[in-house]
Amino acid sequence: MNQEVSKLGSFLASARQHRKLTLRAVETATGISNAYLSQLETGKIRSPSPVMLRKLSDLYGIPYTIILELAGYPVPDSGKLDSSLTDIAARLGPVTSEEADELADYLNYLRSKQNKRKR
């Protein structure tokens, strides 16, 4: 679970910064101490509490299953993400719907470019 926790930590830090929240603001909103949050973001907490992860997913507007999977917890198959999607989510952090649309358009462009080269 160690590598997953470091991915989780950077993902959560990115989500918090994206929302322009301080650790103290997250503490006030969730009741999770800023010390715990800091340790979580730096990967020092090896087994984060699912209850704490739920509070953060609600505050950051991120699907709970993504956060659970990044933390290394098993998730039901119906909600389980492909590992490449989890990696992308961890690298990008939260995106707006407009950004998601633009990312999809760009990926389609790259794929069409690759298909033209194969012909």
Render pLDDT for 7-30 as a digit per residue (tens, 0 to 9).
Answer: 899 999 999 999 999 999 999 999
Give me the phi and psi of 67, to 5 degrees please: -65, -40
Model confidence at 77: pLDDT above 70: no
Packed helices 2-18 and 83-92: angle between N→C axes, nearest 10 degrees? 40
Residue 6: half-sphere exposure toward Cβ, Cα within 13 Å: 2
Burial tier of 56 (Cβ tally within 10 Å: 0-12, 13-18, 19+):
buried
Global pTM value: 0.65
Q: How many CB atoms lie within 10 A of CB 87?
A: 13
Under 8 Å between Cβ of 59 and 49: no
Distance of alpha carbon 85 from alpha carbon 95, whole angstroms: 13
Residue 48's pLDDT is: 93
- Secondary structure E strands in 1-119: none
Q: Do residues 65 and 80 touch, judged by C-beta distance below 8 A?
A: yes
CA–CA dist 30, 2 (Å, integer)? 25
Domains and CATH numbers, the chain: 2-94 (1.10.260.40)
Residue 59 banded pLDDT, cuts 50, 70, 90: very high
Q: How confident is the model at residue 98 (pLDDT cuts 50, 70, 90)?
A: confident
